[in-house]
Amino acid sequence: MILPLLPSFSLKGKRALVTGASSGIGQACAAAMAQSGAKVICAARGIDLLDKTVSAINSNGYDAEALVLDQTDLFALEKVMEKPYDIVINSAGMARHSPAFDTTPENFDAVMNLNLRSAYFLSVYAAKAMKASKISGSIIHISSQMGHVGGIDRTVYSSSKHAIEGMVKSMAIEWGSFDIRINTICPTFIRTPLTEKTFENIEMAQLINQKIKLGRIGEVEDIMGAAVYLASDASSMVTGTHMIIDGGWTAG
C-alpha cells in the first residue's frame, strides 16, 4: 500500500512580505515565515522597532530585511508590490473604539483607510505581480473575530473587518484560476503591547475571560501555526475563507 504523503509546510525558497511586522501579531508572523524557511521582508512605518525585529530574526540564523512603508500611501505601496512575492501577510491595522453615537468622521476614515482601503489595494497589487510572474501565491490578511460578530464600542473596527471578510471571498473567486489564494486569520484578543491597556480595564478583562471558552488570553504564538499553514502548500486547496483563532468566543 502506498500511503499519501503529508504536504509540505516548509517555506524554503519562498519570499514573504509581512506588513505591520515591527511588533505583535505581525512580528510573530514574520518570525513564523522565517523559521519555516522563507526570506522575509518586514514592513512597517517606523524604523526603530522594525530594525530590532529584523536583527532578532537574523541573529537567530534566519533571513530578513527591513522595509519602511506606510501602506496607506498607495503610490508607495504599488511600487513595493511591483516585485512579486510568494506570500503576502497584511498585519497592519488600527482601532479607534467608541460608542457608535460618538464616532467622528475623522476616526471612521482613519480606521477604514488602513484596515480596508490599504488592504484592498495591497491585495490587488500583490495579486497582479503574482499573476504576471505566474506565481502560485498566498495572500493572508490578519482580520479579527470581530469580522464575524459585533462588540460594544467596536462598531467601526468591526465594520472594517466584516468588509475584509467579504472582500477576500470575492477576490478568491476572481483569482482562483491564476492559482492565487487569499484568506484571513481571525484572532480573538491577543496579548500584545497595543492591547495591554485593554487588559488593564478590569471590567473588560472579565468580559474577555467569560467569552473565551478556553479560559485564557490569546498569545501571538497562537497565530503562528495558522500563518504557516495558509502560506504553505499544505493549504493549497484553501482560499476565500477564514481561520478563527478565538478560543471558542464565536462558538457561543
8 Å CB contact between 145 and 157 = no
8 Å CB contact between 42 and 65 = yes
Catalytic residue among 62, 85, 125, 157: 157
Separation CA 153–CA 155 (nearest Å): 6
Separation CA 252–CA 250 (nearest Å): 5
Helix segments in 153-193, DSSP class H: 155-175
Separation CA 185–CA 46 (nearest Å): 24
Does the active-site annotation cover 157? yes
Residue 17 C-alpha cell reads as 512580505
| Strands across the sheet containing 63-68 | 63-68, 39-44, 15-19, 87-90, 138-142, 181-187, 242-245
Which sign, positive or negative, has the C-alpha torsion 58, 12, 225, 71? Answer: positive
Active site residues: 157
